[in-house]
Amino acid sequence: MMKEFIPLPHIRTLTEQQMQKRAQEFNVQIQKRRTVRDFSDRPVDKGIIENCIKAAASAPSGAHQQPWHFVAVSNQDIKSKIRRAAEDEEKEFYQRRASEEWLKALEPLGTNTSKPFLEEAPWLIAVFAQRYGIDVQGNRVKHYYTPESVGIACGMLITALHTSGLATLTHTPSPMGFLKKILKRPDNERPYLLVVCGHPKEGAQVPNIKRKELNDIASFFT
Ligand code: IYR
């Protein structure tokens, strides 16, 4: 494609003070995000999910190839199929595949093979990564930095959902091949993440775990 540049639209003209306030307030809001495993069946309008997916797809991507596809499911039959298939994989995981060390690391989260949230939450968003693209002539187009690009988009999706007032759960049954079959995705895509979202069930509880302090996660050379 030809190189063509335009002036940067929407240049921000925030004062130093406004920037400090926005950074601080955003952090306060995002710190309230918790992974939730108990969802209510209260419906969530499709328009909210559409806007969150649009926000996610504004993520930067390798060579701007936008190597993602989002499948949003509120259909009860499909959610039930996904639950059954995911629970089958999880039984394998918890009974056979997971090492003792892995099971020990999961202990504080209280997870197990039962995944009722896959049927109870109003929306499941399956995110697929396109290992390669297909051009208009049907030829393969190489994609660059696909996992990084899709990972960033997922982070933005979760942020958008949280900002819209919804709770999420990032679910990664492994392997996730069943998602590709149930959701009829093409050969060039592989399932990357299943984001469960909706409102928390009344009285939902979360593990009592803490986030690392800034000193433990960042260093500065100034
Ligand atoms: N996929 C399993 C196990 C699991 C693995 C990790 I890493 C987690 O952070 C949480 C769960 C499950 O969903 O139960």
CATH number, domain containing residue 89: 3.40.109.10
**Size (the chain), residues:** 222
Beta carbon of 90 within 6 Å of any ligand 1 atom: yes
Q: What's the pLDDT score for residue 31?
A: 98
Beta carbon of 19 within 6 Å of any ligand 1 atom: no
Q: For the chain, what is the domain count?
A: 1
Q: What is the mean pLDDT of residues 29-36?
A: 98
Q: How far is the CA of 36 from the centre of ligand 1 (A)?
A: 13
Instruction: Give CA–CA dist 29/174, Å, rounded.
Output: 31
Is 54 part of any domain? yes
Range of the domain at 136: 34-201
Is 10 part of any domain? no
Residue 210: is it exposed, middle or buried by C-beta count within 10 angstroms (0-12/13-18/19+)?
Answer: exposed
pLDDT at 2 over 90: no
Task: Please give the C-alpha separations between residue 109 and each of 102, 103, 105, 112, 130, in angstroms, as whole numbers.
Answer: 12, 10, 8, 9, 31
Mean pLDDT of all residues in the chain? Answer: 96
Q: How far is the CA of 167 from the centre of ligand 1 (A)?
A: 17
Beta carbon of 103 within 6 Å of any ligand 1 atom: no
Q: What's the pLDDT score for residue 173?
A: 82
Q: What's the pLDDT score for residue 12?
A: 80
Beta carbon of 89 within 6 Å of any ligand 1 atom: no
Q: What's the pLDDT score for residue 174?
A: 83
Q: What is the mean pLDDT of residues 186-198?
A: 97
Is 61 part of any domain? yes
Is 207 part of any domain? no
Read out DSSP for 109-157?
A: GT--S--THHHHSSEEEEEEEESEEE-TTS-EEE-SSHHHHHHHHHHHH
Residue nearest to atom 11 of ligand 1 (CA): 111
Is 16 part of any domain? no
Residue nearest to atom 6 of ligand 1 (CA): 106
- Under DSSP, the state recorded for 9 is S
Beta carbon of 171 within 6 Å of any ligand 1 atom: yes
Q: What is the mean pLDDT of residues 13-22?
A: 96
pLDDT at 1 over 80: no
pLDDT digits (tens, 9 = 90+) for 103-161: 999 999 999 999 999 999 999 999 999 999 999 999 999 999 999 999 999 999 999 99
Q: What's the pLDDT score for residue 140?
A: 97
Task: Name the β-bridge partners of 172.
Answer: none
Q: What's the pLDDT score for residue 157?
A: 99
Residue 221: is it exposed, middle or buried by C-beta count within 10 angstroms (0-12/13-18/19+)?
Answer: exposed
Task: Report helix, strand or coil for 48.
Answer: helix
Is 69 part of any domain? yes
pLDDT at 67 over 90: yes
Q: Which band of pLDDT confidence, cut at 50, 70 and 90, is reported for residue 11?
A: confident
Residue 150: is it exposed, middle or buried by C-beta count within 10 angstroms (0-12/13-18/19+)?
Answer: buried
Beta carbon of 109 within 6 Å of any ligand 1 atom: yes
Is 100 part of any domain? yes
Is 112 part of any domain? yes
